[in-house]
Each structure stands twice: as C-alpha cells, then as structure tokens.
A and B are shown apart, each in its own frame.
Chain A
C-alpha cells in the first residue's frame, strides 16, 4: 500500500514537473551568442552585443547569454556548452570562421536552431544572416575623393576575404565617382582586432602621402592616428567603422558606417518565437536600415566638414554639376530605396589588370559581390593570396 502511494506521488511530481517545463518552453526563448572578439572591442562584437541587448529589452520572453573572444577552434565546444548546459533554443555564431562548426552542430542538435553570421552554408535548422556595409563605403569614397589634396587615399584592411575586398572596391568606386585621378592604397594587418597594427599601418599610409583613410578593424586606432595628425596641423580625413567613433576624432572623422544589428536580431528572434522562421539567407543593407551612414548616431556627416563638401563641385552623368555633399545625400536616399534604384557596382567596371569584370549597363549580382576577389582599376597593388 505504502509503495503504491509513493509510486503515485512520484508519478504526479514527475508529471507536474514535466508540464511546467513544457509550459516554460512555450513562454520563454533562450538565445546564445558566440562572439569572435571581446564585447568591449568597440567594433564588430560590440555592435552584435548592442543588438543582443536591444532584442532582450524589447522581448520580455527572451533570455540571452553570450560568450566572447571565442577562437574558431573552440567554437564547437562553446556551442555544445550553450546547448547542453545553458539549454539555449537558438545559437547565433557571429564570425565567418564558425561556419563549418555551426553546420555540424545543426546535425548534432536537430531540434535546436542555429544562425550563422556572414557565411554561405545552410541546412534545415541552420540559417545565415548578414548586414553589409559596402554601400556606405561607396558614400565614404565620394567624400574621400572630394576632400583629398594629395590624390592618395588609404585603407587599413583586416583579412583578404571577399567581404573586405568588396568594401575596398566600393570605397574605390566612390572615390572614382568624385575624383578619377585619386588612387587607393591598401595595407593588410591580418587581424580583426589589432589596435597597434592598425595604428602603424595608418602611420605607414600617411608617411606614403595618403590623407584620407578608411579601415576595417574593430578599434578606433586609425581614427586616433588621424586625429593626432590633424591636431598637429596635417589634416587627415578618416571614416569611422561599425561603431560611432566620431568622439575619438572630432577633427578628423568625416563620416563612416554604423551597423544596427538590433533590427535584425528582433526580426530573427520574433520569427523563431512566432514559428515563422525559415533558413532563408538574410542580407540586410541600407534599405532594411541595417547599414547606416555616419560616424556618430546623430549626424551622417561631421558638421566640421559639411562646408568643404558643399563647396566641392563634381560632374556626374546622372545629376549634372552637383556638390559632393548633395551627391552623398542623394545616393544615400537612393540606397535606402533599394539596390534596384542605385547599386555602386554598376558597369563598366574593370579590375586593375585591365580585364572588364562587369559590362556597361549591368549590375553585380549578390553572388558576384559575395565572391569578389579583385581590385577595381583605381586600387594599387594585388589582393594577397
């Protein structure tokens, strides 16, 4: 009799326990984020973390957890930990190098969802997403081309992968639109996060005579170099990257690009919560308000340089004689309408070896852009192998 009672009791406890967890499953969603750098980098990982916090604030049913500074080789282990110990329902892996491990994790945990940022491999429960800034680099290029006095423009770049080459080329096309005589020089630092390397690369570019610098690296190091030279009387124009870095270079930052992951994360997590998620690739640009022009959240162009840009008159086919400032504003408005209204990669575009890559009147497809590995004709040097 006693044994029977205990059995009933245990069963009921088990059932109650089970039903509450089932209830909680309906109510809550737990998302894990894996970052390649420290959240304090003030660049890529920082921007992702701002997006995570934005989503967590917006959705009361959302719980998030993040792991920072994860090396490519550790990715699988961290995914296992997030799924098994932290009981995450969805894991975001936010670096290109995490791609294969994310796909493998998808097969290992078929009942969980995975979102990989910047990759191209998908499966039933692994989706991809990315916000790209190449349009903003084009606009920065217009400004750099209009402002440069030496006709030598620089770019401090992280790794030779299509994303970076796309940004360099878009920047070069913008420069060409404003100043066909200017040339773009690129220095590779082989680090996403290397303030000292970025700093010395920027100094080397300035020593070679460049006076306008854009970059892809996750710290404001290049801006600090530009600011220091500008204070000493040698005006160097810089373009902020990913986070609002204008406070680091009030006399140097002209504009830049900001990434807003918040909108994207709320869409993805909302879809998952409402069970409307699919593994379709999300590639967000200016139209989706993922890519934003500016070095600060308030101005698209530093007020200090607005006057100079309004005075710089350019000849364009589409708008006739127009100031660099107006051209940037017009192109930005077009980009917000969509890539069918204006696409920077519109032919004729040749690489710097003289081969025609995009024919006149054609625009680059998304596939072309995602695999681009050549410099356009006003960039010096070769893409490293």
Chain B
C-alpha cells in the first residue's frame, strides 16, 4: 500500500512539472495584460527543438537552452501581433498554437521513432531524500522538477517583491497610469510575453527529453490548455500555481488507479477544467475582487488614446 501511495504521489509530481513551468510563464505573461493562448504551440516547438538539439549534440542542457531560445523567438510573433499591432490576442494566440503544432510536426518528422540515449538521471538530495515517504516523493526527482519549483518561487518573488515585477503588474492593471509614471508599457509587455514563451518551451523540453525521452507529433497532448486553465485556477499567483499544478498532475495520474473502481477516465480528464470553473464560480460569488485577474487582460493598449 505504501508503495502505491508513494509511487502515485511521485508520478503526480512528474506529471505536474510541465504544467507548473508553463503556468508560471503564463502567469507572468497575463499579469502584464497579454493573454497568450499559444502555450500549446510554443510547448510543442520547445519539445521538438530540445529533442533535435539533444539528439545531435548529446548535451541535454544545450537542448534545454535551445528550446528556451526558440520559445522566446517563437512567442515574439505573438508579442509583435498583440503589442505592436494591437491585434486581437485570442486570434493571434490561437494562430500561434496551430503554427507551433504544425511546424513542430514537420521539423520533427525525421526524428520520430528514434530513442534518445542521453539519460537525465534523478537527483537524490542528500539527507532530505532519506526522509520516509517525503524523501522518495519530493527529493528523488528529475532536475526539471527542482528547476520548476525554483523558477515558480523566483517568479513569485519577481512579481510581488521587485520593482520590475510591480511595473509589469501595473501594465496589466492600468497601462495608462503606468505609462504616466514613466513605465514603458510596450517594452514590459514584450518582455513578459517572451519570458512566458521561454517557460512554455521549457515545459516542452521536459516532455521530450526527460518525461518520455522521445519525440512524437502531438506529444504535448493538451497540456498547454491545462496551463491556461491553471493560470486562472491559481488566480494569477505563481506561488499558488505550485500546489495547483501538482494537484492537476495528480488528477492525470490517479485516473488509472481508480479505473478498477469503475470511475470513467473521461470524467477524470475533465476534472482540471471543472475545478477551474468551480473556483471561478466560488470566488465570484464570495468576493469578485479577490479574483485578482489583471484588469486590462487581453485589452490592447494604444498609446495616447482615451
């Protein structure tokens, strides 16, 4: 029994890692007022580039670096469309998803069916990994897990406690007021979208070179959309995103354990979205101000307009 619980929680952490990375990125992006629905596509691009680079060079961290760079470059399309051109962010984001999924499939075609011989070993943290239960669940994990947690905390600190973070939040709440305070709204929104893209691509890199160690078209399998739902679920707070991401990872893992009890897997697949709707409903009923959504989310900012 202990085995089942420990292994399941361990898997929930692994399954939640890409969700946490992508959600952290999306939180930063949305806090600046830009809705990016392109997470899924950027993630796929990150996955394919990380895989190709790791395969050809044999260096997984070079693959991660290349994926992050690709994610930044790729999401600049969305930044250009939504910030410079002030286009509809929903349309531009969806286009990015479609473009990313298609392009990654095309680029990755010669690499399908080739196993990656590079292994990303789990890191056992000394002392901590000897703690019963918790040691195996939290402190014997792949490097991406620790990276995701560190980055999520860093993002929380960045947004809540640094000058730049506060400026980014102010561009999402009231860009006009921010601009009068001397904040360059365009530059900060660009920066946020690019950081978000880098995070999404990192999540993709985790999928292809650590989680499954192979590239297969469509391997992101809707995780980008879950990350967008999670952003709302976590109420735009990277700290809250940590436990939310692992909770959603748990939903994904536990469906196979519950199967013998006759619980439909389709129901469990719906849970992340239902949970998001439920949280929205709950908070809206109690105190809508607590929702914390950036006031100018998805609103293009036009300089000098009333």
Which residues from chain A sit less than 8 Å from chain B, CB to CB? 38, 40-42, 46, 187-190, 193-197, 199-201, 203-209, 219-221, 224, 231, 243, 247-248, 380-381
Q: Mark B244-257, 1 if CB is under 8 A from A, else 0.
A: 00000000110111
Alpha-carbon separation in the docked complex, A37 to B8 (Å): 30
Give CA–CA (A201, B11) in the complex, Å. Answer: 11
Which of B105-113, B159-167, B180-188, B284-292 contacts its partner?
B105-113
A191 to chain B, nearest CB (A): 9
Count contacts between A and B, CB distance < 8 Å: 87
Chain B residues within 8 Å of A40, by CB: 105, 108-109, 112-113, 216-217
A204-B253, A207-B257, A220-B115 given; A248·B214 CB < 8 A: yes
Write the nearest CB–CB distance from B79 to chain A, whole angstroms: 29
Tell me whether chain A's interface is mostly helix, strand or loop, or mixed.
helix
Q: Which of B8, B212, B265 contacts A196 (CB 8 A)?
A: B212
Instruction: Determine which of A38, A41, A188 lies in contact with B259 in the assembled complex, contact meaning CB atoms within 8 Å.
Output: A188
Q: Which residue of A lies closest to B109 (CB)?
A: A40
10 additional contacts (CB under 8 A) given A40-B105, A195-B219, A200-B256: A38-B105, A46-B112, A190-B265, A200-B252, A204-B11, A209-B3, A221-B212, A224-B115, A224-B214, A381-B260
A190 contacts which chain B residues (CB < 8 A)?
265-266
Per-residue CB contact flags for chain B residues 207-242 toward chain A (1 = under 8 Å, else 0) read: 000011110111101000000000000000000000
Would you call B7 an interface residue if the criterion is a C-beta within 8 Å of the partner chain's C-beta atoms? Answer: yes
For residue A53, give the distance in angstroms from its CB to the closest CB of chain B: 14
With A187-B259, A195-B219 known to touch, is A42 a contact of B8 (CB < 8 Å)? no
**Chain B residues whose C-beta falls within 8 Å of the C-beta of A206 in the assembled complex:** 7
Q: Are A219 and B216 in contact (CB under 8 A)?
A: yes
Q: Is the CB of A199 within 8 A of B265?
A: no
19 sampled A-B residue pairs with Cβ under 8 A: A38-B218, A40-B216, A42-B113, A193-B218, A195-B212, A195-B221, A196-B15, A196-B212, A196-B221, A196-B252, A200-B11, A200-B15, A200-B253, A200-B255, A203-B256, A207-B4, A221-B212, A224-B115, A231-B119
Complex Cα distance A224/B266, Å?
A: 25
Residues in B neighbouring A42, C-beta threshold 8 A: 112-113, 216
Which chain B residue shows the least CB distance to A382? B262
Residue in contact with B8 in the complex, picked from A194, A204, A380, CB distance below 8 Å: A204
Among residues of B, the one whose C-beta sits closest to the C-beta of A250 is B115
Q: Verify A204–B257 contact, CB threshold 8 A.
A: yes
Contacts of A248 in B (CB 8 A): 115, 214
Bound-state CA distance A193–B113 (Å) is 14
- With A196-B221, A219-B216, A224-B214 given, is the CB distance from A201 to B7 under 8 Å? no
Residues of A with C-beta under 8 A to B217: 38, 40-41
Indicate if the CB atoms of A203 and B253 lie closer than 8 Å: yes
Query: With A207-B4, A247-B115 known to touch, is A224 a contact of B213 (CB < 8 Å)?
Result: yes
**Does B216 lie within 8 Å of A243, measured CB to CB?**
no
Q: Which residue of B lies closest to A41 (CB)?
A: B216
CB-nearest residue of chain A to B213: A224
A208 to B214, CA, bound (A): 26
Is A203 within 8 A of B11, CB to CB? yes
Does A203 contact B7, Cβ atoms closer than 8 Å? yes
Q: Which residues of B contact A (CB under 8 A)?
A: 3-4, 7-8, 11, 15, 105, 108-109, 112-113, 115, 119, 211-214, 216-219, 221, 252-253, 255-257, 259-260, 265-266
Interface contact A224-B212, CB-CB below 8 Å: yes
Q: Are B4 and A208 closer than 8 Å at their CB atoms?
A: yes
A residues near B112, Cβ cutoff 8 Å: 38, 40-42, 46
B4: chain A residues at CB < 8 Å are 207-208
Verify A195–B115 contact, CB threshold 8 A.
no
Tell me which residues across on chain A come within 8 A of B7, comparing CB atoms. Answer: 203, 206-207
A205 to B7: give the CA distance in the assembly, Å. Answer: 11
Q: Which residues of B contact A208 (CB under 8 A)?
A: 4, 257
B-chain residues with CB within 8 Å of residue A189 when the two chains form the complex: 256, 265
**For the complex, what is the distance from the CA of A207 to the CA of B260, rounded to whole Å?**
14
- Report Cα–Cα, A41/B252, bound state, in Å: 22
Q: Output the least CB separation between A173 and chain B (Å).
A: 22
Q: In the complex, what residue of chain A is closest to B212 when comparing beta carbons? A: A195
Residue of B nearest to A246 (CB): B115
**Assuming A40-B109, A243-B113, is B216 touching A188 (CB within 8 A)?**
no
> Shortest beta-carbon distance, B101 to chain A, in Å?
11
Q: Which residues of A contact B109 (CB under 8 A)?
A: 40
Interface centre among B109, B113, B255 (most CB of A within 10 A): B113
CA distance A173 to B13 in the complex (A): 37
Residues of B near A46 (CB, < 8 A) are: 112-113
B119 CB → nearest A CB, Å? 8
Q: For B265, what are the chain A residues with a Cβ–Cβ distance below 8 Å?
A: 188-190
Bound Cα distance from A201 to B216, whole angstroms: 18
A195 touches B253 (CB 8 A): no
CB distance from A383 to the nearest CB of B (A): 12
Set of chain A residues within 8 Å of B8, measured between Cβ atoms: 204, 207
Docked-complex contact B108 and A196, CB < 8 angstroms: no
Bound together, the chains give a CA A194 to CA B217 distance in angstroms of 11
Closest 7 CB pairs of A and B: A40-B112, A204-B256, A207-B7, A42-B113, A201-B256, A38-B217, A248-B115
CA distance A38 to B221 in the complex (A): 14
Bound-state Cα–Cα, A42 to B108, Å: 13
Tell me, in angstroms, the Cα distance from A196 to B17 when the chains sit together: 13
Question: How far does the alpha carbon of A243 sit from the alpha carbon of B7 in the complex, in Å?
Answer: 29
CB distance from B189 to the nearest CB of A (A): 33
Residues of B within 8 A of A231 (CB): 119
Among B112, B115, B219, B221, find the residue whose CB has the most chain A CB atoms closer than 10 A: B115
A291–B260 Cα distance when bound, in Å, is: 31
Residue with the highest number of chain A CB atoms closer than 10 Å, among B4, B15, B109, B259: B259
From A244, which residue of chain B is reached at the shortest CB distance? B113
Given A42-B113, A200-B253, A207-B7: A195 and B216 interface contact (C-beta under 8 Å): yes
Inter-chain contacts of B11 with A (CB < 8 A): 200, 203-204, 207
The reply to whether A194 and B113 contact each other, CB–CB distance below 8 Å, is no
How distant is the Cα of A250 from the Cα of B49 in the complex, in angstroms? Answer: 26
| A-side contacts of B105, CB under 8 Å | 38, 40
Question: CA separation between A243 and B115, bound complex, in Å?
Answer: 13
Chain A contacts for B256, CB-based, 8 A: 187, 189, 200-201, 203-205
